[in-house]
Amino acid sequence: MRRNKDKILKLHIDGRMLYSSGIGRCLREIIREIITAESKIKIYLYGNYEDYKRYLKEYSISDDKVDFRENNSPIYSIKEQVVGSIINLKSKSNDVFYYPHYNLPFIVHKNSVFTIHDFTQFKFPEYFGESKVKIAKLVLNNAVKKAKKIVAVSNSTLGDFCYYFPEYKDKVEVIYNGVSKKFKVLRDEEREIFMLKKNFGKYILFTGNNKPHKNISGLVNSFAEIKKEFKDLKLVIISKDFNTIALSVEDEVKDDIFIVEEVPDDELVYYYNCAFMFVLPSFYEGFGLPVIEAMACGCPVVTSNLSSLPEVGGDAALYIDPYDNKSLTEGIKKVIIDSNLREELIKRGTSRAKLFNWGNTARMYLEVFKNFV
């Protein structure tokens, strides 16, 4: 369909997850870049008012660019289905709706798009419980059938989608995530101030949620082995609601593991910059955003050889088998011991990260949205 160049694109966005882990970060960046790239657009953001005001302030966005519409419905709730369906029924036929997750309401607007980030709940149902998985399957089935377009964040996720929904593969388009401009190599003086303030010393960094598929326990066990040889090494874990009490390692190892609650991007860039390496030993990722964030900050990356991670990391990471603790331990040791390898990973990583740009991502989303108008 050819779009009328003078027509205003009215884009309704489900913003309830605006500050929810990785999905929230993607949404915040995409909205800002869409506003930058397209003048003939009106955005209606549904969600929590405090999140809305926080977002406008943090990203220097004028409130005349984004209209707020309240929707505090919990994710995967009956209220979500009712409220979302009413919103869609009241909307005009040429409006466009975007959902950053697959939790679309039962009544879906005809011009609806959603992003599928991963299939974690379906690949690892034992981590979530039977009832949650059943609800997720019902919601996703509804979304896949009724949405006009679906975005997958990687070819790996596209492959997963085609496995579960082969009859709907023509609806899907791959659009990679980007890396925020905030994630960059800092000056030596900036890194020194941060290191003096935190007093971690030489540390391995992990950031992500504490769900079992992230394999934090495997990383901790490898760290315990590595500590026998490299006494001064520390492990910094940025993860909400995670603590060392449940870790099955000796107390002296626990003393060198620092747990940090989720931090804002402005501070996270320092953690990446000052880390000796970043390790993401997940069993599964739909994209693996922290990999390219670490690379953009000049931090060498050790990550899994599964799912989307080799696709995103390319030749700029050292890959390990997350199911083999020896593989993980030896991979980390290689980066510690081999300074040439470490420097090569840093060099390749900073180049690799430049391939992932939120501006390009947003423009590709815009092309999808414009095709409806």
> Can you tell me the distance from the alpha carbon of 8 to that of 183, in angstroms, rounded to the nearest whole number?
33
Range of the domain at 340: 188-353
**70 and 154 belong to one structural domain:** yes
**148 and 219 belong to one structural domain:** no
- 319 is a domain residue: yes
Residue 9: strand pairing partners = 41
Which token pair is 124? Answer: 């690892």
Of 182, 82, 172, 53, nearest to 119 by C-alpha is 172
**36 and 72 belong to one structural domain:** yes
CATH of the domain at 131: 3.40.50.2000
List phi, psi (to 5°) of 9: -80, 115
- 170 is a domain residue: yes
**308 and 363 belong to one structural domain:** no
CB 35 within 8 A of CB 67: no
**What is the count of structural domains for the chain?**
2
**198 and 305 belong to one structural domain:** yes
- 4 is a domain residue: no
Of 188, 189, 205, 178, nearest to 352 by C-alpha is 178
CA dihedral 333, 334, 338, 339 (to 10 degrees): -80
**Can you give the pLDDT at residue 254?**
83
Strand, helix or coil for residue 323: coil
> Can you tell me the distance from the alpha carbon of 329 to that of 325, in angstroms, rounded to the nearest whole number?
6
**322 and 254 belong to one structural domain:** yes
**140 and 280 belong to one structural domain:** no
48: left (phi over 0), alpha (psi -120 to 50) or beta: beta
Close Cβ partners of 43 (under 8 Å, ≥ 6 residues apart): 11, 12, 13, 31, 34, 35, 65, 66, 67
Please list the ranges in the chain whose pLDDT falls under 50.
1-2
**31 and 80 belong to one structural domain:** yes
- 1 is a domain residue: no
**362 and 343 belong to one structural domain:** no
- 183 is a domain residue: no
> Can you tell me the distance from the alpha carbon of 31 to that of 33, in angstroms, rounded to the nearest whole number?
6
- 89 is a domain residue: yes
- 2 is a domain residue: no
**Can you give the pLDDT at residue 71?**
96
pLDDT in tens, 162-176: 999 999 999 999 999
**67 and 101 belong to one structural domain:** yes
- 126 is a domain residue: yes
**Sign of the C-alpha dihedral, residues 209, 176, 309, 338?**
negative
> Can you tell me the distance from the alpha carbon of 285 to that of 283, in angstroms, rounded to the nearest whole number?
7
> Can you tell me the distance from the alpha carbon of 286 to that of 333, in angstroms, rounded to the nearest whole number?
27
**Can you give the pLDDT at residue 306?**
97
**Can you give the pLDDT at residue 132?**
87
**89 and 154 belong to one structural domain:** yes
Residue labelled with tokens 């690949």: 123
**226 and 158 belong to one structural domain:** no
